[in-house]
Structure 1
Amino acid sequence: MNTKKAFVSLVLAACVALIGVVPGMASDKKPGDYKIVLVLPGPINDQSWNATNYAGLLACNEKLGTSMEYVENVQASDYESTFRNYAERGYDLIMAAGTQFDEAANRVASKYPDSVFCVVNGMVSNGPNVRPVLPKEYEASYLAGIIAGFTTKTGKIGMVGGFPNKLMVRLMNTYEYGVRIGSPEVSANRAYANSWSDVALGKQMATSMIDKGADVLFFYANQVGLGAIQAAKEKGVKFVGFASNQNDIAKGTVVASVYFDFAAMYTWTLEKFMEGTLAPEVNGAGVAEGIVKVAYTDQVSEEVRGYVKQAEEAISNGNVLYFASQFPESLD
């Protein structure tokens, strides 16, 4: 027997076997054949984060022909058990909406190598089957900040995030930086709700900021933000929507919304997964990938829209600092 040929055959056979067990590689499956689930921390009708992710699911099922399922209102104590449940049932892709799922996904994934775990807004990938997708929220908040900076009349703004994690702090920093494009001397009142769901708390925090002079509010805290919009409407101040298009929640109050086109992001993610190119790392997507969109009302002038467009172009070209340098006072 030709030992060289035999060795080559064995190597090829081993490679084929290996490829066969690596999750997320391209296969002959049709989109509807994949078992996929989306795990949501809140309700699909929250008009913010969970609704936005659910819209992505619907887009995939409609445009790609997938049969993605979902489970909503999953509490932190149930993250791991929910992941295990679907992995043990042979799901090909288990998605979860929110950075808070990172730890549980990475802990469970190693025990279920045949399933891919994809955390939307995920920041950690500690295994070959952990493939998070990270919307570049800080790019979106920069655009929102530009709008707010040209909207404020008092030079005081209120800004609230859900929890002070790394991503949220970065998002809030770039929002405030964007505000200074239009209002270099702005006074920013920043706080964190430490909640995603307390509507009453959102209203209370917004009212307090308004009473201290803030005339433009920005909340990225899911349902907490709904309470803030209510307070803004009652007090007659302006609000910049975020994450989803919130313009119709309170017409005349929400001047514009910078939101994530999760239909585009989810289809982008699913296509990469099914073709085997979703990488075992943090996969980023933002302005350049067509994920970030702006919905204006007639309260935003063409001039301000022009500044936002310039910023979008600068971000897409990887040159946002160049844009900022056109307004030297913003660097003070």
Structure 2
Amino acid sequence: MKITKMLLSCLLVLVFAVPGLAVVKEAKDYKVVLILPGPINDQSWNATNYNGLVACNEQLGTNIEYVENVQQSDFESTFRNYGERGYDLVISAGTQFDNAAETIAPLYPNTRYLVINGAKTNGANLTGVTIREWESGYLAGVLAGLATEAGIIGEMGGFPNPLMKDALNGVTAGAKSVNPNFQKAIRAYANSWSDIAKGKEIGVSMIEGGADVLFAYANQAGLGTLMAAQEAGKKFIGFASDQNASAPGLIPGSVVYKYDQLYLFVVGEFIKGQLPADVMTAGLSEGIIDIIFSDSATQEMKDAIEKAKAGILSGEIPKPEGEEE
């Protein structure tokens, strides 16, 4: 009995004292939280990221928590809160979290901070995963270019950050590529992710300016732009999540982000201890971007999308430059 106890004591000492030898956690034991800037029912960015959480909990066995509607003034305090509480992984959804993560991450070296659509790293415990937004924007533009009769489209973004400009530049380039009668894109920013009234106001203004197809990438604010299109009977291009059912007959398709696959990959890598403290990119070639057509989509649209996908994947279609830097 004494020998058995001695052996057990030695094993415990080895587990906790020998470098590289530790108790392996199960997925459910990691403390993980997803911080969202808006509600999970926004039919856009936040809903798509929440779907990633659900996929991880169902397929990886994690118990990821979430907090929604976190305002920018609370980003740092929210990051700090979960660092203080010893969370293993703090995920935030959106490039707007970059600066706060860069400030707070070094204070909690035992917590990994991961920003979806983030473009910053500290080489230690901060990871950014950047979507190649121009690719998804380009596909949306192909749809818009073939849907417009006036040759004028409206592009509404949340904030004029670099990734948003990439997306909207992609929309313009995609529309030009398929429509020889394309005239112009009316571009505006809501400077908000949540102001539905502002999004609608911008949409109405674009329609008054001649746009007969609208595109919005602005979370909740984008729902206002969709409302403007619905009320005027104008076409709308769904984006980030499947918005086709929101306006049957007016939305030929939605360019979607398959964040379930992205989250399964990055959270899975974290659990395996293989998530790099670096900036990673993902897009068409990683299976993150796709398109869902509605019944109103024409065969011409479907063929043009397949051609655009192939061009992006082969490198024949480069990242658009020059519309807005």
**TM above 0.5:** yes
| Aligned mates of 1:80, 1:114 — CA distance in 2 | 17
Question: Which region of structure 1 is more displaced relative to structure 2, 168-177 or 276-285?
Answer: 276-285
Deviation at 1:319, TM superposition (A): 3.5
| Aligned mates of 1:126, 1:140 — CA distance in 2 | 28
Q: Could you say which residue in structure 2 is the equivalent of 1:175? A: 171
Structure-to-structure mapping, 1:147-158, within 5 angstroms: 147-158=143-154
Q: Could you say which residue in structure 2 is the equivalent of 1:36? A: 32
| Aligned mates of 1:240, 1:138 — CA distance in 2 | 15
Structure-to-structure mapping, 1:86-97, within 5 angstroms: 86-97=82-93
Structure-to-structure mapping, 1:4-43, within 5 angstroms: 17=19, 28-43=24-39
Q: 2:74 matched to 1:101?
A: no
Aligned pair count? 302
Indicate conservation of the 8 Å contact 1:110/1:127, yes or no: no
Q: 2:236 matched to 1:247?
A: no
Q: 2:225 matched to 1:211?
A: no
Once the two structures are superposed, what CA deviation does each residue of 1:149-176 show, in whole Å capped at 9, x if it has no partner?
1111000111111000111111111110
Q: 2:79 matched to 1:83?
A: yes
Deviation at 1:276, TM superposition (A): 2.4
| Aligned mates of 1:230, 1:20 — CA distance in 2 | 57
Deviation at 1:190, TM superposition (A): 0.7
| Aligned mates of 1:255, 1:73 — CA distance in 2 | 30
Indicate conservation of the 8 Å contact 2:109/2:125, yes or no: yes
Q: 2:118 matched to 1:122?
A: yes
- Amino acid of the structure 2 residue aligned with 1:130: L
| Aligned mates of 1:278, 1:186 — CA distance in 2 | 45
Q: Secondary structure at the match of 1:248?
A: helix
Deviation at 1:105, TM superposition (A): 0.7
Q: Secondary structure at the match of 1:254?
A: coil
Q: Could you say which residue in structure 1 is the equivalent of 2:302? A: 305
Q: CA RMSD in A?
A: 1.8
Deviation at 1:313, TM superposition (A): 2.3
Q: Could you say which residue in structure 1 is the equivalent of 2:58? A: 62
Indicate conservation of the 8 Å contact 1:146/1:179, yes or no: yes
| Aligned mates of 2:218, 2:79 — CA distance in 1 | 24
Q: Could you say which residue in structure 1 is the equivalent of 2:185? A: 188
Once the two structures are superposed, what CA deviation does each residue of 1:187-244 show, in whole Å capped at 9, x if it has no partner?
1111111011111111111111111211100011111111111111111110001111
Once the two structures are superposed, what CA deviation does each residue of 1:33-68 show, in whole Å capped at 9, x if it has no partner?
111000111111111111111111011100111100
- Amino acid of the structure 2 residue aligned with 1:255: P
Moved over 4 A (4+): none
Q: Could you say which residue in structure 2 is the equivalent of 1:296? A: 293
Q: Residues 154, 132 of structure 1: CA spacing in aligned structure 2 closer, same or farther, 3 A cutoff? A: same
* Structure 1 length-normalised TM: 0.87
Q: Could you say which residue in structure 1 is the equivalent of 2:6? A: none
Once the two structures are aligned, what percentage of the paired residues are identical?
51
* Structure 2 length-normalised TM: 0.89
| Aligned mates of 1:294, 1:175 — CA distance in 2 | 14
| Aligned mates of 1:212, 1:318 — CA distance in 2 | 35
Indicate conservation of the 8 Å contact 1:160/1:191, yes or no: yes
- Ranges in structure 2 where 5+ consecutive residues have no aligned partner: 1-17, 321-325
Deviation at 1:94, TM superposition (A): 0.4
Q: 2:72 matched to 1:73?
A: no
Deviation at 1:20, TM superposition (A): 7.7
- Ranges in structure 1 where 5+ consecutive residues have no aligned partner: 1-15, 22-26, 325-332
| Aligned mates of 1:183, 1:319 — CA distance in 2 | 18
